[in-house]
Amino acid sequence: MTWLDEVGQAYDARPDPGFGPPTLDVDAIAWRDSLQAARDQLGCSFFDYLTAVDELDEGFSIVAHVARPRVGRVDSLLLRARIPAAAPAIACCCEVYAGAGWHERETHEMFGIDFDGHGDLDTLLLPDGFEGHPLRKDFVLASRVAKPWPGAKDPGESDSDAAPSRRRTRPPGVPDPDEWGPSAT
């Protein structure tokens, strides 16, 4: 029996064997139970990381990478659950994988996702009083509005007057300075 067959049998699903480790989409309600099944039934005793992906209107994807160490190789598995953007919350998995606590705190801080039952989602990386969640796609990168974007020039262009004039470009996700920032009133 192959690794993919074991995963499919344990979850009654066929994982996507695309590029990288097999990825298994699970229901958000069964998030903690799915991670526990990966640990107990598949032998994925190694917790590598947990993070989120902002899918904009579709919500957030919570992703956990776990692994089963073997002699001479490591079998990896990604578990992924989708949660709504309106009320982003999912069960805490610290009791399943003790190392998940730090990752859940970071994901809470950077994306604003709550982990039900965590108990300590205090600030971890950002300075005290920081407002917002910097890894959300709707978060405005203020420093890019206030400072010229270094990618505004193509190779061969310079600051001299001899160079052709080009319209100033903004990086993706940065609003027009006339609409947002210190000059906007």
The predicted-structure confidence for 70-104, as pLDDT tens digits, reads as follows 999 998 899 999 999 999 999 999 999 999 999 99
C-alpha 89/C-alpha 116 separation (Å) is 7
Residue 59 pairs in a beta bridge with none
Q: What is the DSSP letter of 181?
A: S
Residues counted in the chain? 185
C-alpha 142/C-alpha 67 separation (Å) is 38
Answering whether pTM is above 0.85, one says no
For the domain 3-116, what is the CATH code? 3.30.460.80
The predicted-structure confidence for 41-78, as pLDDT tens digits, reads as follows 889 999 999 999 999 899 999 999 999 999 999 988 99
The residues spanned by each domain of the chain are 3-116, 140-185
Q: Is 156 helix (H, G, I), strand (E, B) or coil?
A: coil
Residue pair 11/27 in contact (Cβ under 8 Å)? The answer is: no
